Structure 1
Amino acid sequence: MLNKTILQFARTWALPLLAVLFLASCQKMGPVPPPWKNQAKKKTIWEVASSDGRFSLLKAAVARTGLVPALNDKKANLTVFAPTDDAFRAAGFRTVSDIAKAPVDVLKAILLYHVVGDEVFAAEIPQASNTPVPSLNGQPLYVTRTSAGNVFINGVKVIIADIDCSNGVIHVVDRVLIPAPGNIVALASGNSNLSFLVAAVIRAGATGTDVAAILSSDGPFTVFAPTNQAFAAAGLTSVEVINNADPAFLLNVLAYHVIAGARVFSSDLVDGADVPTFQGSTLEISLGSGARVKGNANATASNITITDLLATNGVVHVIDQVLLP
């Protein structure tokens, strides 16, 4: 009898009273936010990068250039394309000592070229090729997101996307992004391994077509640039030989190395594609163990040995053969 009385009391008063007390306590506490919404638990971009062993050279470069406060600013809203240590080594910064020897202004310009002044996650990037996005360096980055969701910056693939930080987001890249040193002619003139190409451009101007002026104009252009060794293998063994070559022949050959009206980064190359050139004929692209390009009269394809050298008016890919139409 007593048990029945207790059970009846519970049903009538105790259980409803507990429910009221529970609801009241929930109203006082408010909703509990999911842990990923708690910004206080996130690290800043600097804290993430400086504590990750993959970014020791980036850490040294940021410290040397005085950019720690900017990347540690909790009120900032940034996107950083962070090169790994392997990326810095490939760019010639093999050790922290190399970072310490680099001119601060040059290093700072390079680092700022990796930063966008807004937080942009991978899914927010437009699905398009080479969308210009201003960097904190002042020069644009060219951002691509493919239909498969892959992201490329100036042809360089983002290997890890969306590391969420309290003051922005980090995307990891495996190459250092180098700002354009000038237009295509300026870029080639500053590279001692392309001095024969520069001589050929100047000599071709004897036809009355100012090739140097064309390649210095707004463009954009994509140029497959043969090295000095490539010119020598084609019989143009010195600047003196080039200066005595038929300028009409050089004009025809040089025009065959130029794609007009587009920046074609390595990420834009399509296997088996026939690419129209400024000369009028096409080049054949092949992508196997590495990117290659073949001229119609070449017996074999040329290797693209260095990709995606950015100029203010286009992009240059270095090749190891002269392409023949």
Structure 2
Amino acid sequence: MEMLPRHFRFEKTSEFFAVSNGVIHVIDGLLLIEESTVKSKVETQPEFSGFRELIGRMDNSDGSDNVFMEALNPEKDGGKSVTLFLPSNEAVSRLPQEQKWRLRNDRAFLTRILDLHLISNSQHPLLTVDMVNGSSTATAQGRRLSFHKTNKDGNVGLPSVRVDGVESRIVQGDIACSNGVIHVVDSVLGLPFLTVLQILQAEPNLSRTFRAIEHSKDLKAALSTSGNNVTIFAPSDQAWLNLNQGDLARMTSHSHLMTKVIRRHVVHGRRLDGQALRREERFTTIPGDIQIKQAYAENDRSKADPPRIVLSWKGHSASIITYDIPAVNGLIHVLDQVLFDQDFDITQASLSRSNTLTSSVFIAGQLFSLGLFLIS
């Protein structure tokens, strides 16, 4: 793969011809000179109108230059190349109304989000082939973007870009410009656009937690409403499989048991990120208090890494293995165990329902006897 002037790349084929003064390589494209700058493409291409509208919010009332738009101008960047991650029109249109309102009315917030999309501190543009899986780079303002590639059926597609826990997929990469390159992404970087429930449904490792929530209509509604603010400690699929399979089967077949367990993992009205959890000793869910502890991994004798956060309830513990997955209505933390107690969740619950049923039968019998007495 060769990088040519004006940032075009072409794949060399296996064909080449030796000549007396060198060699000729056959390539799979026609060499062209791209005259359009990143700025001019953003300003003129209809498929970029959604992002162009966001940038327009940076216009100054005194008529001075739009700072972000001018950063795309080769005359302003000191000869450095520009790499722009540009959200598609669809990505901008599907933002929740609350986020659209904030982007329109909070200039500082808009500036922070726009800065995530621009890399302008390099002599060469960042092309998709440079985005090695697990690598990262800094934006113009020093924020870190990391890149990830997924191997599906032996094929590695275009990379995704991750920042602040939000992942966006490049859907069209390496659009050449005279002063850089544009990558079209399927969401606005740094802005979650899915609800907690939608993320649980989409994440393969959390499918069992999603199915558990479906047992409770109220909880399902709370996690799917964008105006809410919730924190959920979602057990991974493996965490559910770690349970006694008989207990798991009983919970799955009795909605009231599953609802009782899953509600323990949800905090309503609070957005508890990892930093907040490290400052607190406990939090309250519907069934009661959950204690928060911090513990170093057994093999981390140097204590170089921060301690992991461990939740404790009735002598049972679960560690957070993934922190701060953002949603439009809250945060998700992934647990390695389910906070579950067999005696409390299964035995006592079964006895309680049995006693309730017995009481109901007794009351019904008393009412029936009273009816016979009145008739006689």
Q: TM-score, normalised by structure 2?
A: 0.43
Q: TM-score, normalised by structure 1?
A: 0.49
Q: Which has the higher contact order (CA 8 A, sep 6+)?
A: 1
